[in-house]
């Protein structure tokens, strides 16, 4: 389905990462991929995964660093000459701001959470725009969580940053639709990843979701990967600005 197309994936930390699940689905359908890693610490582990994907590029990028973002886009332009898909699977908030009562959120923690988890979608999409234009359009997929809409215990400042991310999805979609660039988000149910372990009470959250979700289980990584494939592919060509839940139906339940 995606032969001849190219994708740029931000947010692989290890084989449990949602970004990796999406990347595997994209690669399975023939997309050529570039992966970024944040800092030397992750170079080896992300590199080992990237090596298993035919013709993949591996590039350093901290999404708060404009020079690194520019370098990634330059390299992708040089090696691929186009871009069809960008996967934004990146989020961070300082641990103390996740653990403290929400009212105690620090100014710096608030700024950091929004910079890395929401603003980065805007800056990465802008940087990729000239490459999307070479492809005649593009698809951007971001990852969000239900805590953007409802107050979820322990999610705190990350919920506020995700609300901002979801608004960025809509504004980017409205802005870039005329260029045939689509921007959507997947609101995934809880998945046991590195980032998720930073949330206090995460195991309880997993149990709660599995008990209440209509499908009576938690979502599988592969299911989030396949949803990413759908939003990245021409199968979703009429969809932009949406937040699509992939959560075994948890969000539809009232009482």
List of residues contacting ligand NAP (CB under 6 A): 11-13, 17-19, 38, 42, 62-64, 89-92, 116, 143-145, 188, 190-191, 193-196
80/92 with CB nearer ligand NAP: 92
Catalytic hit among 145, 146, 171, 250:
145
Check: CB of residue 204 under 8 Å from CB of residue 1. Answer: no
23/82 with CB nearer ligand NAP: 23
Closest approach, Cβ 120 to ligand NAP, in A, equals 7
Q: Which of 242, 244, 237, 255 is nearest to 219 (CA)?
A: 244
Tokens of residue 73, six digits: 């886009």
Query: Is 37 among the residues known to form the active site?
Result: no
Closest approach, Cβ 193 to ligand NAP, in A, equals 3
Q: By CB neighbour count within 10 A (0-12 exposed, 13-18 middle, 19+ buried), where does 93 fall?
A: buried
Query: Is 155 among the residues known to form the active site?
Result: yes
Closest approach, Cβ 18 to ligand NAP, in A, equals 4
99/234 with CB nearer ligand NAP: 99
**How far apart are the C-alpha atoms of 63 and 119, rounded to whole Å?**
9
- Give just the sign of the alpha carbon dihedral 19, 20, 22, 23: positive
Closest approach, Cβ 13 to ligand NAP, in A, equals 3
194/235 with CB nearer ligand NAP: 194
Catalytic hit among 37, 119, 146, 155:
155
Residues that are catalytic: 145, 155
């Amino acid at each position: 389905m995606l032969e001849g197309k190219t994708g740029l994936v931000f947010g692989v930390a290890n084989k449990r990462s949602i970004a990796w699940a999406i990347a595997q689905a994209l690669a399975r359908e023939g997309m050529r991929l570039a992966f970024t890693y944040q800092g030397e610490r992750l170079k080896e582990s992300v590199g080992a995964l990237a090596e298993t994907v035919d013709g993949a590029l591996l590039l350093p990028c901290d999404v708060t660093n404009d020079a690194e973002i520019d370098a990634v886009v330059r390299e992708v332009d040089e090696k691929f000459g186009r871009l069809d898909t960008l996967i934004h699977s990146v989020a961070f908030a300082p641990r103390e701001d996740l653990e403290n009562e929400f009212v105690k959120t620090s100014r710096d923690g608030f700024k950091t959470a929004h910079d890395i988890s929401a603003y980065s979608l805007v800056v990465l999409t802008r940087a990729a725009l000239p490459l999307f234009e070479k492809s005649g359009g593009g698809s951007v997929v971001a990852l969000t969580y239900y805590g953007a809409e409802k107050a979820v215990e322990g999610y705190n400042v990350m919920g506020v940053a995700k609300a901002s991310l979801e608004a960025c999805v809509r504004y980017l979609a409205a802005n870039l639709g005329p260029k045939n660039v689509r921007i959507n988000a997947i609101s995934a149910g809880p998945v046991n990843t590195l980032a998720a372990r930073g949330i206090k009470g995460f195991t309880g959250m997993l149990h709660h979701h599995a008990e209440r979700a209509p499908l009576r289980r938690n979502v599988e990584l592969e299911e989030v990967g396949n949803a990413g494939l759908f939003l990245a592919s021409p199968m979703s060509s009429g969809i932009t600005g949406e937040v699509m839940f992939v959560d075994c139906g948890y969000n539809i339940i009232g009482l």
